[in-house]
Amino acid sequence: MPLTARRPWLTIGLWFLLLAAVVPLLGQVTNHLGSGGFSAPHSLAAKADATVGDLVQPSSVPTTLIAGLTPSRLQSMARSAGMPAGWLHRLAPRSEVLVPGQKPAVAERFLALARHGGATLTAVNAENLGKAVSHQAIQAFTASTVVAVPALLILLLLVFGAVLPALLPLVTAGAGTVLTLAVVAVVERYVPLSVYLLQIVSFLALGVGVDYALFVSTRFRNGLEAGAGVDEALALAMRTSGRSVLFSGLAVALALAALVLGGTAYWRGMALGGGVAVASVLLVTHTLLPPLLRLMGRRAGIGRIRFAMPEWRLWRVLATWATSHPRIALTLGLLVLLIPAVAAPALRASIPANVAAMLPQSTPLAEAQAVEQQVRGAGEIAPFVVALSLSQDVSSPLAWQTVGQVTDKLRSLHGVASVSSPSGQLSPAMLATSAGQPDSPLRAFISGPRSVDLFVTPTSGPDSQATQSLLGQMQSGLRQVKGAQVTIGGQVAAVQEFNSYLAARLPAMAVAVVLVALVVLWLATGSLLQALLGVVLNALVTLATAGILVTVIERGAFGATPQPLNLAVAPLVFVMLFGLSMDYEVILLHRIQEHLGRGDAPRHAATHAGASTGGMITGAGLIMVAVVGALLVSPFEILQTLAIGLVSAVLLDTLVVRTFLVPAAVTLLGRHAFWPRLHYPRHAAE
């Protein structure tokens, strides 16, 4: 019996004090989360963008969202400021957008009047769009939680068949979630973490916590029903399911740790947050759950209901059929996985360059930016920075001759709306003379003694293929410029570098995850063959899930709006799939090994294991579906994609792989199923 269960009230009291101490940190968990982290290390685009900070920016007024005043009052203020009424564009009855023209002083007078009149002014820029993303993500977290908890309660009642045991996983999973968020609140002060982490680690802790408590407490109840005493049943549950849960948690944590190989702040944060979530849940499962189970004891039947899922005859019928017709079961199961997998090679993923694309289109700031694009041009919101590192000082006419050549080349490219450059307005000699003057207007372009920045506005939006093509033209056309080294920055260039950087590292992440799954399964089962088989089946589920994402997200099936897969979530789906699938794999294989250890033939062992764990594994899968599926109410495409991917993967894993493929494979392999036969756990009878 676990040490913590020997003095249950002391253990529970210590946990209560710990949770009470960390609860105040939950109010700070959103203070330092950001929407960034999508930049490649040592990015050339970031280097080019950094030079812009050394420029003397000309006076200008950004596009501004104005809320809180009626259109008539705003029109009156515009007349008082001498501002053209055409600069204002209606969004809602009390919300308008100012897209200023060429007279910043006029726009500033109008904004001063609006501010004095009580209006709320918000500049439509990347910083405020990022804040809007963070705010919306926090709201979505609350909405998703409201959806997830009632669904969880219903499923827990169906799985446990009694009220008191059904509440137990919620208590332990809740404790794990609180501890996870408290640790995140501390870590985020020192390590940049993404706002998307909040929902992902919270629901990971909740889902995994409920699953682990389900596995252990179900085995505890099975022991009681078999006539064992409370202490004996608890010891058996921790020795069997507790051991399985430990291997499962190790697999999930190590799989998530592989995200570190993504090499960016976003992926490091995801790896850290995921690891904290799983570690917290394992700590709760092995320290808080045992004393709670011991105190519950034989009161586990309080509030009993009929039709509990594990008691359905369906699981024995399915297990018997799969082991009686293993070739048919294997063939049908593989077909179910291979049919959607056909679409997997078409998967294309990238990060959107437009921050507003991460927001619901009805968000005022997203609408304001859309208006700005309509008025000024689609590419106005994401100009390119062309940073020139000249071989001559800016006081030399030769330097400005080079700037002129680059400017002419840029203006000749297809897809360029405008090039902001001093070249062409004055001769190189006059530009060289003007560059040395303290109040020279060239200071808006000169970022150093031998550095000049030009700005290129494309005709198309930041996520358009035409804009990507223009970036390619600039990169190839300006690779070798006599008299200068050219670096291209801007949001589009930075995101392209991030996408390329991550794509190059994905193979290493995939190999790491596969190795983790292989090693953990080998250690858990003592069988290299079962470890290899588990990796192959997980790979098939991964391909099937990728095909489903391509069909639903990229091709817009079932009424969805077609859009590229987000590269910030696609690897996360597959890493979490490999990790989470270990839960069900280890539980099922350990139960098969228990029956083999008692002398059962492989077919009978697979049948009994499938019948006894079918309801529990399917229930655990449905619980994970309910938790992760709640993210579908989120307005963020990145979280919706995560939900669709994980829901598909968990259903395929529990309903196809664990129900049919694994029992059929063990039956067909017979006495070689666990080669090399290093060990079979020998446990007391259930």
Whether residue 608 is predicted with pLDDT greater than 50 in this model: the reply is yes
Statement to judge: residues 271 and 157 lie in one domain:
yes
Looking at per-residue pLDDT, the higher value among 97 and 159 belongs to: 97
Question: Do residue 137 and residue 101 come from a single domain?
Answer: no
What's the pLDDT tens digit per position in 67-123? 999 888 999 999 999 999 889 999 877 788 888 888 889 999 999 999 999 999 999
Q: Give the confidence band of 244 by pLDDT, cuts at 50, 70, 90.
A: confident
* Assigned domain for 478 exists: yes
Residues 326 and 417 in one domain: no
What's the structural domain count of the chain? 3
Q: What is the mean pLDDT of residues 281-290?
A: 92
| pLDDT attached to residue 684 | 35
- Averaged over 285-302, what is the pLDDT? 84
pLDDT at 680 over 70: no
What is the distance between the alpha carbons of residues 162 and 168, in angstroms, rounded to a whole number? Answer: 11
Q: Which residues contact 354 (CB under 8 A, 6 or more apart)?
A: 369, 381, 382, 461, 462, 463, 491
Average pLDDT over residues 130-149: 74
pLDDT, residue 351, reads 80
Read off the pLDDT of each residue in 232-253 and give the average, rounded to a whole number: 86
- Are both 310 and 398 inside the same structural domain? no
445 in any annotated domain: yes
Same domain flag for 328 and 389: no
Structure tokens at 141: 């977290």
Give me the pLDDT at residue 267, please.
83
Q: How many helices (H) and strands (E) does the chain have?
A: 23, 11
H/E/C letters for each residue in 108-171? HHHHHHHHHCCCEEEECCHHHHHHHHHHHHHHHHHHHHHHHHHHHHHHHHHHHCEHHHHHHHHH
Residues 6+ apart with CB under 8 A from 102: none
Residues 6 or more apart whose Cβ sits within 8 Å of residue 224:
230, 233, 297, 298, 300
Looking at the fold, whether 195 and 258 belong to one and the same domain comes out as yes
Rounded Cα distance, 586 and 580, in Å: 10
Q: What is the mean pLDDT of residues 49-53?
A: 88
Average pLDDT over residues 40-64: 85
Would residue 571 count as lying in a domain?
Answer: yes
Q: What is the mean pLDDT of the chain?
A: 85
Q: What is the pLDDT of residues 571-581, one digit of tens each?
A: 888 887 877 77
Q: Are residues 111 and 148 in the same domain?
A: no
The domain that contains 416 carries what CATH number?
Answer: 3.30.70
In a domain, 339, yes or no: yes
For residue 76, the enclosing domain spans 64-123
Beta carbons within 8 Å of 355's beta carbon, 6+ residues apart: 35, 126, 129, 130, 133, 491
Select from 94, 123, 152 the last residue of a domain. 123
Which among 93, 123, 153 is the end of a domain?
123
Task: Examine residue 370 and state whether it is found in any structural domain, yes or no.
Answer: no
**Which of 123, 141, 162 finishes a domain?**
123
- 638 pLDDT higher than 90: no
Instruction: Quote the pLDDT of residue 354.
Output: 81
Amino acid 301: pLDDT: 63
- Residue 512 reports pLDDT greater than 60: yes
Under 8 Å CB-to-CB from 135, ≥6 apart: which residues?
Answer: none
Question: pLDDT-derived band of residue 302, with 50, 70 and 90 as boundaries?
Answer: low
- Does 203 reside within a domain? yes
Q: Where are the alpha helices (DSSP H) in 258-396?
A: 265-287, 289-296, 314-324, 326-341, 364-376
Are 351 and 401 found together in one domain?
A: no
State whether 431 and 571 are in the same domain. Answer: no
Looking at the structure, tell me whether residues 8 and 111 fall in a common domain. Answer: no
Rg (C-alpha) for the chain, rounded Å, is 30
Q: Please tell me the predicted confidence (pLDDT) of residue 120.
A: 92
Give the residue-averaged pLDDT of 389-400: 92
Q: How confident is the model at residue 406 (pLDDT cuts 50, 70, 90)?
A: very high
Can you give the pLDDT at residue 554? 86
Per residue in 461-492, pLDDT tens? 998 999 999 999 999 989 888 889 999 999 99
Averaged over 275-289, what is the pLDDT? 91
- The rounded distance, in Å, linking the Cα atoms of 367 and 166 is 45
Identify whether residues 182 and 76 lie together within a single domain. Answer: no
Q: Is residue 37 included in any domain, yes or no?
A: no
**Residue 304: pLDDT above 70?**
no
Q: pLDDT class for 36, splitting at 50, 70, 90?
A: low
Residue bearing the bigger pLDDT, 165 or 79:
79
Q: Does residue 218 register a pLDDT over 90?
A: no
Can you give the pLDDT at residue 122? 92
Least confident of 80-89, 437-446, 623-632: 623-632
Which token pair is 437?
Answer: 């003057």
The better pLDDT of the pair 529, 201 is held by 529
- pLDDT for position 26: 83
Instruction: Kindly list the distances between the CA atom of residue 635 and the CA atoms of 110, 491, 616, in Å, as whole numbers in the listed order.
Output: 34, 23, 32
Per-residue pLDDT band at 685 (split at 50, 70, 90): very low
| Confidence class for position 307, pLDDT limits 50, 70, 90 | low
DSSP 537-557: HHHHHHHHHHHHHIIIIIS-G
- For residues 520 and 466, state if they share a domain: no
Whether omega for the bond prior to residue 84 falls within 30 degrees of 0, making it cis, is no
**CATH number of the domain that 221 lies in?**
1.20.1640.10
> For residue 686, what pLDDT is reported?
33
- The pLDDT value recorded for residue 683 is 43
